[in-house]
Amino acid sequence: MQKLLIRGGKPLKGEVTINGAKNSTVALIPAAILADSPVTLHGVPDISDVHALLEILEDFNVKTHFENHTLTIDPTNIMSIPMPTGKIQSLRASYYFMGATLSRFGKGVIGLPGGCMLGPRPIDQHLKSFRALGAKIEDDYGVITMTTPEGLNGNRIYMDVVSVGATINAILAAVKAKGRTIIENVALEPEIIDVVTFLNKMGAKIRGAGTNMIRIDGVEELTGVTHAIIPDRIEAGTYISAAVATGEGVTINNVIYEHLEGFLAKLAEMGAKFDVRGDSIYVHSDQKLTNVNIKTQPYPGFATDLQQPITPLLVIAEGDGTIIDTIYPQRINHIPELNRMGADAHIHGNIISFEGSSKLTGAPVKASDLRAGACLVIAGLIADGETEILRVENILRGYENIVEKLTALGADIQMVEE
């Protein structure tokens, strides 16, 4: 087991480059098994969620090679293997193997996914979509068995909630179904557009990604292609938050500004100073922050995944502020830990509130989920004294080389054995 030690108060300065998007990558990898020839992905982040997916691919007899952010996936000899337990339960995105195996084999046995504990994370909309396309689904104590006695046939699907995962899974299941599928009330996240771009390059016929209705005309085969993954807007937002908190001039490279508008608008409202320079964002030094009210929303609203990384800024900003996470109201693992470090944050129902500006002091804390971990790293960079962060494995699910990247910016941060 490893832990992070951060001695706070060292200003960040210099440049950091953002990786390809985790939440695209973890959908693109399962989507690749729909091809009948090898797929190459560029910009793949070297994070533990990716390694878990590669192990699952190996179990499906799919060959992979991952080096220097380039991943080749050769699904030519793929076999339909039941995956009721094991690695499939170690991350959320393994649910994409449900849509992908249905599409590839017309059947599958996949255990329910794991991933960060953010309160209830049902997959009813995923299963409803598969059923609408003709799949028979049995849930035997968390093992989902899918069959298609009459094949997969296009249909109309209306999503009751706007869901990233259900939208992508419905697309994966429908892409080779007979006839036309129309999916309404879909999510608009850039990662969905990335996955659709990839599938269309492979030969799929999908229209409307980025709007709230997607139309799919089923095709018979999909061919391997090369695809470059979009930058990770959540990793970018995390480093931007760190730079606003403690920076003396930091440039964040490989950013699509339009993907971060909701987040950057909130930072601007707090008084943060930054410039957009092409595909980089420069964050100025000496920020004076005033507090704000944040409500997370599906894209293009303020992203739930950036709620935790921005929280340290609300802790230190002048005045009162609030956060309401409408996507995951129980995404609050970071709050008791921040309070151990001296924050004055309170939880009333689904509202997190901050009163006045608090001074943070180093303390032993626990990264109970990925973005809570990112929040605590930023809090540790701000705090006086030493912060010790346990459960680091949660951070490594989604942030590549976080120690090296922050060290290059001047942070005093080390990974040590517990």
List active site positions.
Answer: 116
The secondary structure of residue 285, as a DSSP letter, is S
Partners of residue 2 on adjacent β-strands: 417
Contacts of 321 (CB under 8 A, 6+ apart): 291, 292, 293, 294, 314, 353, 354
Question: Is 124 or 275 the residue whose CB approaches ligand EPU more closely?
Answer: 124
Assess 378 for contact with ligand EPU (CB under 6 A): no
The nearer residue to ligand EPU, 93 or 244, going by C-beta atoms, is 93
CA–chain centroid gap for 401, Å, is 16
CB 58 within 8 A of CB 128: no
In whole angstroms, how close is the CB of 344 to ligand EPU at the nearest point? 26
Q: Where are the alpha helices (DSSP H) in 90-204?
A: 96-105, 124-132, 164-174, 190-202
Question: Which of 173, 327, 377, 382: binder of ligand EPU (CB under 6 A)?
Answer: 327
- Residue 232 C-beta: closest distance to ligand EPU, Å: 9
Q: Is 26 in the site for ligand EPU (CB under 6 A)?
A: yes
Letters for 251-290 (x = contact with ligand EPU by CB under 6 A, - = none) are: ----------------------------------------
Q: Does 100 bind ligand EPU (CB under 6 A)?
A: no
- Tokens 């935790």, located at residue: 308
The interface with ligand EPU within residues 59-88 (CB under 6 A) comprises none
| 241 is an interface residue for ligand EPU by CB under 6 A | no
Exactly one of 232, 305, 337, 400 binds ligand EPU (CB under 6 A); which one? Answer: 305
Establish if 126 lies at the interface with ligand EPU (CB under 6 A): yes
For 113, counting Cβ atoms within 10 Å of its Cβ (0-12 exposed, 13-18 middle, 19+ buried), the class is buried
By CB under 6 A, residue 28 contacts ligand EPU: no
The span from the CA of 289 to the CA of 312, in Å, is 11
* β-strand partners of 215: 182, 207
d(CA 126, CA 124): 5
Q: Can residue 343 be called a binding residue for ligand EPU (CB under 6 A)?
A: no
122 binds ligand EPU (CB under 6 A): yes
Contact between 165 and ligand EPU (CB under 6 A)? yes
Distance CA 394, CA 323 (A): 23
Q: Does 92 bind ligand EPU (CB under 6 A)?
A: yes
Chain residues binding ligand EPU by CB under 6 A are: 23, 26, 92-93, 116, 120-126, 161, 163-166, 187, 234, 304-305, 327-328, 370-371, 398
